[in-house]
A and B are shown apart, each in its own frame.
Chain A
Amino acid sequence: METITNSMTHDHRRCDEIFVNMEQAIIRKEWRDAEQLMGEFVQSMEHHFEIEEGKLFPVLEEMSSQASGPVNVMIMEHDQLRHLISQLNSAISKELKELAAELSDTLLVTMQQHNMKEENVLYPMADRIVPDLSVEIASHLVESC
């Protein structure tokens, strides 16, 4: 059986792949591709956030009082990632190469450090507290592929 850590980490890598292709399109100034990949990236990220904010985090908070602090931090970081994504989206639509490249760099680092926290701390915690949720999460993730 896939653990929550495995399936959510796998989904992070899937979003990374789309991100890397989008960044490449920005660097090559292939704006139509960049816009299309950005759309795909936003969709994947939102689907990932939805699973976390709509399913995983509420159950975690309900089952453990210790989880609410870390969960709040993760939700605030999601909002910040959303804000960065919307800034990048606007730079791509205005075809501003330097700004888009700098914002994509910032977004990547922010996303990676956020993912590291989830993969090293939050998901293993979820696997210990709510292991039964793993099947449901895996099936939600399959829907997005």
Chain B
Amino acid sequence: MNTAGLSLDQAPPIIIPVKFFLTASLFSVFIGALILIEGEEIFLSRWSPLALGLTHLVTVGFLAQVMTGAMMQLLPVLAGSPVPAVIATSRAIHLSMLTGAVLLVIGFIQTYHQSLIIGASFLAVAFLIILVSATISLYLSKSPLQNTMSVGLGWIALVPTAVFGLFLVLGLTGVIQISDMTQMTTLHLSWGLLGWVGIVLFSTIFKIIPIFYVTKEIPSSIQVWSLPVVFFLLILTTVSNYLNAGLLKTGLLFTVVLFLVIAFFAAASIHRRKRKIIDSTLLFVWTGIFSLVLSAIAWILSDNDILVGTLLLWGVCLTIPIGVIYKIIPFLCWFHLQGMQIKREKLTYTLPPMKYFIRERSAKAHYYMHMSSFCLLLIAFMLPAPFTRLAGLAFTLSSLYLFKNILFAFLRFRREQRLLCSEG
């Protein structure tokens, strides 16, 4: 019988997710700074060293940190089983992921081959530790498969993403010969963005929206099965591509259309929520879903890779996770204090409300800063100078603000923790 999910000691120390989230926000500062320094150069080509460096700053820099931090925290809640040796495991993941991302991005931007290979190797090690520890955790949990299947498949999608990525790095550095780099790049980014990011983000949205906004249950055909079908379609696309290269676009088209259906159900569920408040998380998630739809339409109707990439990376990948951070951090601060309160049997001690840790006005102010930078970047498509640099400046400031919000939440938590412990 699995009663682990009821224990108060399941959650890892709060510093673990906070460390991942703070690092992510610093990567986000670098993204803004790079755009500010390089300006309109970023729009030259999706294959330019700068564009490749920026893309990976978003994915293995910002996204990987946020998603790992959230997973370390959500896995015990979803599966009722903690990550094994969570402190040592998370330290190893954090360090190798940080080193790997920095070296990989330097390798791309400076076209420095050794840095690319070492960076990719560090990232492979980080991803391997994540997958092994998550598998052990899920195996021990004996939780119903449907609770964890989607998020699990999302993380498994990292395997083909990383394998294609490693081949591409070896191809780029001349270690091996790859006959069709474009095709392999398409497979690498399809598994990364549609598989890993898409599946993990939407399985998280499906979990948190009903809890925080009291929505009607999303139909189980969508909630339980749609994301595994995405995974299956990606396998089919990959295999059929090697039988007939013409099938690649068709396979991806089916996957993208399925994502449009998933986005529709997520948006409809939010729209029909019983709790009619509009908070910062909802604004970030709404914007992310809307950008996803726009990028899918842009991909189907045009071949403007830079526009599709911008909508997807900026509008979805750099947006939805922030909404999740603003829900998770105040909850975690409160949850950990609550645990201490119960353990010390101080039930009448008054804890501050969750929103004390990150005030709603601060989170909303960040949303408007984030949106300003996004709008400036979209304007920069038509008027690259001076709007690209302005977008970079706005995004740097917005990211620093995110860093400040996370740090202040943690400092407020520490103060409350001290007060709770000193209370006789």
Contact = CB atoms under 8 A, between A and B. Distances in A.
Contacts of A77: 342
Contacts of A128: 1
Contacts of A83: 347-348, 350
A117 B6 contact: yes
A19 B274 CA distance: 10
Contacts, number: 79
5 contacts: A20-B275, A69-B3, A112-B214, A113-B77, A125-B1
Contacts of B275: 20, 23, 108
B271 to A, nearest CB: 15
Interface of B: 1-3, 5-8, 77, 80, 147, 211-212, 214, 274-277, 331, 334-335, 338, 341-342, 347-348, 350, 353-356
Nearest to A70: B6
B353 A106 contact: yes
A117 B8 CA distance: 11
Of all A-B residue pairs in the complex, the 3 with the closest CB atoms, nearest first, are A102-B353, A70-B6, A106-B353
Contact of B211 (A70, A109, A120): A109
A102 to B, nearest CB: 4
B341 A74 contact: no
A63 to B, nearest CB: 12
Contact of A121 (B80, B354, B356): B80
Contact of A70 (B3, B331, B348): B3
B186 to A, nearest CB: 39
A76 B277 contact: no
A66 B211 contact: no
Contacts of A122: 6
Given A69-B7, A102-B353, 5 more contacts: A20-B214, A80-B338, A83-B347, A112-B214, A121-B2
